[in-house]
Amino acid sequence: MSSILKRILKFIRKARTHYTTLVSVRISLSTLQNNLRAFQKTFPSLAFAPVLKSNAYGHGLVAVARLFDRDGLPFFCVDSYAEALILRNEGIRTPVLIIGYTLPENMRAHRLRNVAFTIASIEVLKEVASLNIPLECHLKIDTGMHRQGILPDQIPEALALLAHAPQMRPTGIMSHLADADGIDDAFTREQIKVWNETAARLKVALPALRFIHCSATEGSRYADGIAANVLRLGIGLYGCTETAPVAVEPALELVSSVSSIRTVKIGEKIGYGATYTAPRDMRVATVPVGYAEGIDRRLSNIGIMMVHGQPCLIVGRVSMNMTTIDITDVEPTVHIGDEVVAISRRREDANSCESIARQCGTIPYEILVHIPATLRRNIV
């Protein structure tokens, strides 16, 4: 009865809040599926755990989880207990691993089924072991990144703590590669060496281990040499990588529309700070999307948006909720209400996520996770 009532309330709420958005995020579910299948085909001996933290890298936590919930995947990775709560409240049944730090009081109070916690230091292990509560966990090992993890020489102490805390169930061990997509191959291989040795010790000491995972997407190039049965698939799932050894495609695009069109005369200024001077008589369009909607302010005067398939330069500074673009060469075919692609999912476009990241001197991850969760995700 309660599930039927929930569905009725959701239907009523959806009907009351229906409106046409000024900005939306389109997610191609078939592209996400194809990206996962490409990794599974390339590495048939590995299971893959989708990384859904930070609103599934901007793609929509619940939408992506629902897509893969029936695929029999080992677990979903989230960063926080809050994200795990959202998934369970939305009826997602796949096991969940919280890979970020969780307050011990939240571990003590939690009642979620099939949720495991990452234990990322000997100090946290001591505290959690003293709580005397049933807890499934993955032990994180510091193999050289020196950000989190139990050090290899702390393994005896960790095993002793677990021996005196039978209520704890370590079902997994994990680590993270610091430079898998970089140029220091020797550093990564040393990390893998430390991991393989440590994993061998722990598999003997903890025979109930089910999940052994060391790397994320970029580390897949080293998969044949890593002792593991799971790989955490983050940026590769979303297709915004050109360096992974598997061909994938971006699944996300951010779209808006033209809200006004005007003529700017040669020599006139555009935008905050008057940073752009019109080099000719121009036709410019305003788009109701800005840095509050995920358009990086560093794109001011250099970025691109697409109108009718044509690149249009961002002129003037990106504002909080508006951006102005040069449509002179696309006129007179542009009208108010015409679609504008602010972030393209075509890798070859000048405003693809990877192109934008290069222009801003950052990484695609940052561009994606800065797309607000409040923007509607339209599944296509």
Catalytic residue numbers? 53, 272
**CA-CA distance, 132 to 117, in Å (whole number)?**
15
Q: Which two tokens stand for residue 284?
A: 């410019």
Tokens matching residue 363: 């990484």
Q: In what order do the strands lie in the sheet with 96-98?
A: 47-50, 230-233, 211-213, 168-174, 135-140, 115-119, 96-98, 76-78
Contact indicator for 311, 300 with CB cutoff of 8 Å? no
| Per-residue exposure over 33-67, b if at least 16 CB sit within 10 Å of its own CB, e if not | eebbebbbeebeebbbbbbbbbbbbbbbbbbbbbb
Best CA proximity match to 323, nearest among 350, 376, 373, 284: 284
> What gap in Å lies between CA 80 and CA 99, rounded to an integer?
7
Query: Which amino acid, 164?
Result: H
